[in-house]
Amino acid sequence: MIRPRMGIHVPVTGRKVGMATGRASDRLSRRPGSSEIAGALFGIGVAAFVDETVFHQLLHWHHFYDKSTTDVGLVSDGLFHAFGWFAVVAGLFWLGGLRSRRALDWRRWAGGALLGAGAFQLYDGTVQHKLMRLHQIRYDVDITPYDVTWNIIAAIMIAIGLAILLVARRGRPRLS
Which one is predicted more confidently, 121 or 69?
A: 121
**Confidence tier at 140 by pLDDT (50, 70, 90):** confident
Q: What is the pLDDT of residues 27-55, one digit of tens each?
A: 544 465 689 999 999 999 999 999 888 88
Whether 154 contacts 118, CB under 8 Å = yes
**Rounded to whole angstroms, how far apart are CA atoms 142 and 7?**
65
Whether 159 contacts 82, CB under 8 Å = no
Residue 13 is predicted with a pLDDT of: 45
Q: What is the pLDDT of residues 2-21, one digit of tens each?
A: 544 444 444 444 444 444 44
**Rounded to whole angstroms, how far apart are CA atoms 48 and 85?**
8
2 bridge partner residues = 11
Ranges assigned E (strand) in the chain: 2-5, 8-11
**Rounded to whole angstroms, how far apart are CA atoms 108 and 114?**
10
Q: What is the pLDDT of residues 92-118, one digit of tens each?
A: 999 999 999 999 999 999 999 999 999
175 phi/psi in degrees, rounded to 5? -90, 145
Quick one: what percent of the chain has pLDDT higher than 90?
50
Query: What does the DSSP 8-state code read for residue 105?
Result: B
Q: What is the pLDDT of residues 58-82, one digit of tens each?
A: 888 887 887 778 888 888 888 989 9
pTM of the full predicted structure? 0.77
The answer on pLDDT for 26 being more than 80 is no
Residue 32 is predicted with a pLDDT of: 52
User: Hey, where are the domains in the chain?
Assistant: 1-30, 32-170
